[in-house]
């Protein structure tokens, strides 16, 4: 929905319910970049609003932040159904606001206005989501690359055509921050529109998200979320290669596309104690199951439940060797 902060566009003022009062919870950095336009829009549309600015990032995703939002909801005096909260920011902010709204008066609706690629691609239980790719212009290049990992996840496990599009135009998306004419909108529509994970596993949405939470937590703040996800996807690809689910050519295409999108394919932590911890966490969360979604070719996936520690260590070693051999090799960009 381009032009979301254009006063001539009524979408934001009407989102989540009839015109009225709105509590706006906005990420501190986003407020620095877009706050003036946001307030000008709300004033121009005659929206009675109050703003709560939160310095939100992964390390401060705490109940204190949730209670801070709930307290402001109470002091602002919003009604349970008639005044949805506007959450303007990335995925962490949406999680904080979403939990606060769930707890407040037995659930208050909220509207998510994602300003990061991760937040834009996430599927959450909000009343409404308003997407404007223009917010992505102010993201750092690394943040865009990190978000592209979630696009690659869908492509690799469920959408071969999307994978091909990323091979052809992925760098354009990165260079232009999804402003490349036609391409950015097409990719977002394909992913946000809900590509189904029907490649042989109902858990394809968890691809890249089984081992990576342990890696991400251990590596904070060194790795961004999408970078940790990509490291797991690379490892899973090699596991699939060694099981005969992905051939040699496909493996090269996958790993080289990750590099082309400026994403990591390995991390030392996932080759040491963290690998064992990640597997142990998976077993504990899954009632003893050693399961992992794996690619089956490009654009489909399978779920295996016999994942072994030695298998992961062997795959990590293969990736380490591949990275060493290809580090100095020329890329498609020369």
Domain ranges, ordered by start, for the chain? 11-138, 141-324
Pick from 27, 24, 57, 43: which is nearest to 220 by CA?
57
pLDDT of residue 133: 87
Please name the residue ranges forming H helices in 125-268: 141-158, 160-176, 183-192, 212-219, 225-242, 248-260
How far is the C-alpha of 194 from the C-alpha of 181, rounded, in Å?
A: 22
The pLDDT value given to residue 210: 85
Q: Is the pLDDT of residue 74 over 80?
A: yes
Nearest residue to 83 via CA among 67, 68, 105: 105
Which residues lie below 8 Å from residue 70, measured CB to CB, with a gap of 6+? 100, 103, 104
pLDDT-based confidence at residue 221 (cuts at 50, 70, 90):
confident
Record the tokens describing residue 321, joined without a space: 């060797």
pLDDT at 147 over 90: yes
Q: What percent of the chain has pLDDT over 70?
A: 86
End-to-end CA gap in the chain: 36
Q: How far is CA 112 from CA 49, 53, 59, 216, in A?
A: 16, 15, 21, 25
Model pTM greater than 0.85?
no
DSSP characters over 23-62: EEEEEHHHHHHHHHHHHHHHHHTT--EEEEEE---GGG-S
- Which of 32 and 123 is assigned the larger pLDDT? 32
pLDDT (average), residues 56-72: 82
CATH number, domain 141-324, options 1.20.120.1760, 1.20.1080.10, 3.40.1380.10, 1.20.1090.10: 1.20.1090.10
What length does the chain have? Answer: 334
Average pLDDT score over the chain: 86
Percent of the chain with pLDDT over 90: 54
Contacts of 62 (CB under 8 A, 6+ apart): none
Q: What is the pLDDT of residue 46?
A: 93
pLDDT in tens, 281-333: 766 665 556 678 999 999 999 999 888 788 888 999 999 999 999 875 544 44
Q: What is d(CA 115, CA 248) in angstroms, rounded to the nearest whole number? A: 38
134 token code pair = 């223009």
Cβ atoms of 89 and 45 within 8 Å: the answer is no
Range 143-147 average pLDDT: 96
Q: Could you report the per-residue pLDDT of 197-213, keeping only the tens digit for each?
A: 443 444 566 899 888 88
Write down the pLDDT at residue 330.
47
pLDDT, mean of residues 47-58: 88
Rg of the chain over all Cα atoms, to the nearest angstrom: 21
| Residue 132, token pair as written in the block | 């404007």
Mean pLDDT of 165-177: 95
Name the packing angle between helices 248-260 and 141-158 (round to 10°). Answer: 160
CB atoms within 10 A of CB 27: 25
For residue 155, pLDDT over 90 is answered with: yes
| pLDDT score of 56 | 78
DSSP state, residue 306: B
* For residues 252-264, average pLDDT: 97
245 in Cβ contact with 297 (< 8 Å): yes
Phi and psi dihedrals of 303, rounded to 5?
-115, 125
Question: Same topology for domains 11-138 and 141-324, yes or no?
Answer: no
1 closest CA partner among 128, 93, 98: 128
Q: Indicate the range of 54-58, 157-161, 224-228 predicted with least confidence.
A: 54-58
User: 59 pLDDT exceeds 70?
Assistant: no
Class of domain 11-138 (CATH, top level): alpha beta
Could you tell me if 294 and 240 are in contact, meaning their C-beta atoms sit under 8 angstroms apart?
Answer: yes
Listed in order, strand segments (DSSP E) in 255-326 are 292-295, 301-304
Residue 196, pLDDT above cutoff 60: no
Q: Mean of the pLDDT values across residues 87-94? A: 92
pLDDT-derived band at 82, boundaries 50, 70, 90: low
Residue 10: pLDDT over 90: yes
The answer on pLDDT for 218 being more than 80 is: yes
The average pLDDT across 90-116 equals 87
Asked if residues 211 and 279 have their Cβ atoms less than 8 Å apart, the reply is: yes
Poorest-pLDDT segment among 90-104, 142-156, 231-245: 90-104
Residue 204, pLDDT score: 60
Across 272-286, average pLDDT? 69
Q: Helix and strand tally (H, E) in the chain?
A: 13, 7
Both structure tokens of 39: 């307030």
């Amino acid at each position: 929905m381009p032009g979301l902060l254009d006063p001539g566009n009524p979408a934001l003022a009407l989102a989540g319910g009839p015109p009225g009062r709105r509590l706006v919870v906005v990420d501190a950095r986003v407020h620095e970049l877009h706050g003036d336009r946001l307030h000008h829009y709300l004033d121009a549309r005659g929206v009675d609003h109050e703003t709560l600015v939160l310095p939100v990032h992964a390390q401060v995703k705490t109940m204190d932040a949730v209670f801070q939002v709930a307290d402001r909801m109470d002091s602002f005096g919003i009604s349970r159904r008639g005044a949805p909260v506007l959450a303007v920011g990335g995925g962490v902010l949406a999680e904080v606001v979403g939990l606060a709204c769930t707890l407040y008066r037995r659930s208050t609706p909220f509207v998510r206005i994602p300003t990061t690629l991760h937040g834009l691609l996430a599927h959450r239980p909000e009343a409404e989501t308003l997407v404007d790719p223009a917010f992505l212009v102010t993201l750092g290049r690394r943040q865009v690359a990190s978000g592209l990992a979630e696009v690659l996840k869908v492509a690799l496990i469920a959408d071969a055509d999307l994978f091909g599009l990323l091979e052809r135009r992925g760098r354009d998306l990165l260079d232009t921050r999804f402003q490349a004419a036609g391409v950015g909108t097409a990719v977002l529509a394909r992913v946000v529109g809900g590509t189904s994970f029907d490649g042989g596993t109902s858990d394809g949405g968890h691809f890249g998200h089984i081992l990576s939470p342990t890696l991400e937590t251990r590596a904070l703040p060194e790795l961004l979320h999408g970078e940790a996800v990509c490291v797991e996807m690379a490892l899973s690809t090699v596991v699939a290669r060694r099981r005969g689910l992905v051939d040699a050519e496909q493996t090269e295409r996958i790993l080289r596309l990750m590099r082309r999108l400026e994403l990591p394919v390995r991390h030392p932590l996932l080759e040491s104690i963290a690998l064992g911890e990640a597997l142990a966490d998976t077993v504990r969360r899954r009632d003893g199951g050693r399961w992992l979604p794996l690619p089956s070719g490009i654009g489909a996936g399978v779920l295996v439940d016999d994942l072994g520690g030695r298998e992961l260590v062997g795959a990590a070693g293969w990736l380490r060797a591949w990275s060493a051999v290809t580090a100095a090799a020329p890329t498609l960009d020369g």
